[in-house]
Copies of this chain bind each other. A is one copy, B any other.
Amino acid sequence: MQQELNDFMDEQKIAIEQELHYRLTNLDIPERLKDSMLYSVEAGGKRLRPVLLLAAHRAYSHGSDAPFGPAIALEMVHTYSLIHDDLPAMDNDDVRRGQSTNHKKYDEATAILAGDALLTYSFEMIAGDPGLTDNQKASITTSFTQASGPKGMVAGQILDMKAEDREITLDELEHIHILKTGALLRFAVSTGAYLGGADSGQIRHLDTFAYYLGLIFQVQDDILDVTGEAEKLGKPVGSDAVNDKNTYPKILGLDGAIRKKFDYVKQAKEALNQAGAKSTYLSMLTDYFSTRDY
């Protein structure tokens, strides 16, 4: 089962990266802007969001083409959010995925503009996708703005900043993660399923599934910062505690965080069972999210 998921993830990752490369290298724009956009988009990563979108599509589709337009739009928006998050005024990070952050490699102004450009261009990936009907384009664009904008990811970022210097409750922590990380994951799952032909009842269950999947992703991130191996993670462990960050282990203890994770996994799988998916990739991805070691 693990091998089957690995093969699926590798295959999708390659296709996603080819699409991203093609869409960006063919842009007729100033070189410095293009270079800085490509630099961050091609910095690697697991491409979990577009993989999830394509897995959700596969779970319902009867042979319709894989929706690469929305999938790469999603990865572009994720990348823009990392570039802006890393800026000195935000998290002030110099290194991401083992290489200089965008503003260290180029400069702050270029990083701000590269993020703005990726965000804007992502909407063209949807509106200009010949594989989508006009009705699908309008529907997906609306849910995409809701997931990534002031009602979704951007709201999560501002709440996260405001929570930095104080103790927060588990409810508050979950609320921040559901917006900051969860909104894009929910968009991934519901959009893939919608384009694959899932009905509205199935999509409702999938949205519950993706809600918990986002929390699983985050609690495992926090757990790995305590128990992970720096070499595998590509970053030092224990930095959350040093920086006194609001994490699951801080609020619940390590054992409590692990118990919480298994509770989330149970809830995610219950919702998934009710959603009538044809394939098992979403179930396998749930296990992957909860057991990953990097």
Partner-B contacts on A (CB < 8 A) = 27-30, 32-34, 37, 80, 84, 87, 89-90, 103, 107-110, 112-113, 115-117, 119-121, 123-124, 126-128, 133-135, 137-138, 141-142, 144-146, 148-151, 154-155, 157-159, 161-162
Is B30 touching A158 in the complex (CB atoms < 8 A)? yes
Known: A134-B138, A142-B124, A145-B127. A158 touches B113 (CB 8 A): yes
A33 and B120 in contact, given A107-B89, A112-B89, A127-B142 (Cβ under 8 angstroms): no
The 8 closest A-B pairs by CB, nearest first: A120-B149, A89-B108, A134-B134, A127-B141, A117-B150, A124-B145, A127-B142, A29-B150
A110 touches B146 (CB 8 A): no
* Given known contacts A34-B150, A124-B149, A116 and B119 CB-to-CB distance under 8 angstroms: yes
Q: Is the CB of B110 within 8 A of A87?
A: no
Residues of B within 8 A of A127 (CB): 137-138, 141-142, 145
A89 to B103, CA, bound (A): 10
By the criterion CB–CB under 8 Å, are A33 and B142 in contact? no
Residue in A27, A123, A141, A148 whose Cβ sees the most chain B Cβ within 10 Å? A123
Given known pairs A28-B151, A32-B158, A137-B137, the reply for A119 and B119 (CB within 8 Å) is: yes
Q: Which residue of the partner chain B has the closest CB to A34?
A: B150
Contacts of A154 in B (CB 8 A): 33, 113, 116-117, 120
User: Which residues of the other chain, B, contact A37 by a CB distance below 8 angstroms?
Assistant: 150
Give the Cβ gap from A12 to chain B, nearest Cβ, in Å.
Answer: 25
